[in-house]
Structure 1
Amino acid sequence: MKTLQVNIVTPDGPVLETEADMVIATTETGELGILPDHIAMVAPLKIGGLRVQKGDSTDVVAVHGGFIEVRPEVVTVLASAAETADTIDVARAKIAENRAKAKLQAEKDEKELRLAELELQRAINRIRVGEGKF
């Protein structure tokens, strides 16, 4: 059976380099399932978990935006930040979630509200991936 080469890269360097049977990503237009020999494309990613399936196992990576580039045998994710489930500090993510919720309740400035919303989305994403509830 054919596989895909999967590369997840951030400005800090590579996060994951592996082979997979299937990749499932959350793009701006919805979920996208990618199998070997998929048509070439590029799509913007939403904050969410990127699932990398190989056999009976699935690895989930918390991706905080960016782009996915798909070629027939290679999937490359260029993200501003990404973390594998085993590297996420869930307790720290919960603190960030509470801090973002407090900002949302206290803030009046439109720009600051949007930043707090994004902060909350990232924290929730990290918690879900870190706890395996994706």
Structure 2
Amino acid sequence: MSRILIADDEESMRLLVARAIAMDGHEIMTAEDGSEALEILVEHAGRFDLLLTDIKMPIMDGIALALAAARDFPDLTILLMTGFADQRERASGLDAIIHDVITKPFSVVDIRNAVANALAARKRD
């Protein structure tokens, strides 16, 4: 299956999303913030199929992470998550580098569908 990196500063959200996505057989790695996620991407030479990141995080937010990841690993599919309308607006100009933004709170079915759609779009490209 696919390799997915999840970045979210809320441990409960990281665990929920990781468990939900793992149900579909994906290999999951997690990071507590954007800086740690970028380190993982570099350490693994960007060999992930999807970066799923929260927008609002300390140290390095999801938008800064998405910009760095898209610059360094242009084939990486990026899916953002947020529970804040203003953060969603910040992401609206990133259509060229992100697949979509999923709004929190979401159900397990919602996140699994969003990931499946992002991975399907990756295969079409």
The bucket for the TM-score relative to the shorter chain is under 0.3
Decide which structure has greater strand share: 1
Q: Which has the larger radius of gyration?
A: 1
TM-score normalised by structure 2 residue count: 0.27
Decide which structure has greater helix share: 2
TM-score normalised by structure 1 residue count: 0.26
